Structure 1
């Protein structure tokens, strides 16, 4: 079964290639922001974008800061407008997209696929958390997203085989 990447996963993969980042040990939001020429500041404020600068909350753990960077980077690279003045549904859409982006940016699929994921759920979550510098909760959700996509692909292959078999193809 070949994993079919989404447009977002492909976009993130290309971005990392453009930045010269190919492995988890190279994932460093300070270096990434520098390579993207995006101003970055770590302050005692909630994370946000302000006048094009990404601000990350200094009170967060390093793992939470990395996750927040992924979220805010989505806003910086893929969104427009001031959320304070947009309709609530549009604001909610941007937040959903930024959260979804962060999972794929902080734990990129092309890197996740290279991991030898243990069969033990807790060991798998821990491996992803440690490898990608994210919290265990974040790693668990990302693993769930990855497994769900694999399950859908497997179901699709099975249904295609059943249809082909019934048509004697």
Structure 2
């Protein structure tokens, strides 16, 4: 199977932490592996760097699925972005948010964990297996279908 740059990055990252199956995924395990501290608070999600250490803040009122999705979004910022967004032009902020959302889709539901099951997967199965919300699972499923369709039409 051909992997995009993001899919390969996520696969290599997770395998380097011995995270090989959906049950291995979770905030605690990924945060520990990345040496990121996670704090729950009453405000929105955000990632900051203090003294060279990353801290991710998650809203304590959100359910576990949403916290996982927002955690992976913030990890995307940590992995691929530097600096403070409030100093950037709006178009750059929009790009960074798109990139973090895209990364989140791949970290929450890694392509390599689906290779044997993609034909049998439904959004409900993805939701349960990867502990994400239904809408998130639908979005990821659509991404997989689009990728499959693209390669079928362009490589045949």
Query: What do you get for the CA RMSD once the two structures are aligned?
Result: 1.2
SS of residue matched to 1:22? coil
Candidates 100, 108, 123, aligned match of 1:106: 108
Q: CA deviation at 1:25?
A: 0.4
Matches of 1:11 and 1:63, distance apart in 2? 23
Asked if 1:115 is matched to 2:113, the reply is no
Residue equivalent to 2:99: 97
Matches of 2:16 and 2:32, distance apart in 1? 13
- Scaled by the length of structure 1, the TM-score of the pair is 0.86
Matches of 2:43 and 2:28, distance apart in 1? 17
Aligned residues: 152
Candidates 66, 74, 77, aligned match of 1:64: 66
- Scaled by the length of structure 2, the TM-score of the pair is 0.93
Asked if 1:149 is matched to 2:151, the reply is no
Matches of 2:94 and 2:77, distance apart in 1? 12
Moved over 4 A (4+): none
User: Whose helix fraction is larger, Structure 1's or Structure 2's?
Assistant: 1
Matches of 2:33 and 2:125, distance apart in 1? 27
1:15-34 equivalences in 2 (<5 Å)? 15-34=13-32
Residue equivalent to 1:162: none
Matches of 2:9 and 2:65, distance apart in 1? 23
Matches of 2:86 and 2:36, distance apart in 1? 22
Residue equivalent to 1:163: none
Bigger Rg, which one:
1
Q: CA deviation at 1:59?
A: 1.1
Asked if 1:80 is matched to 2:70, the reply is no
SS of residue matched to 1:81? coil
Matches of 1:48 and 1:93, distance apart in 2? 17
Residue equivalent to 1:132: 130
Matches of 1:76 and 1:139, distance apart in 2? 23
SS of residue matched to 1:54? strand
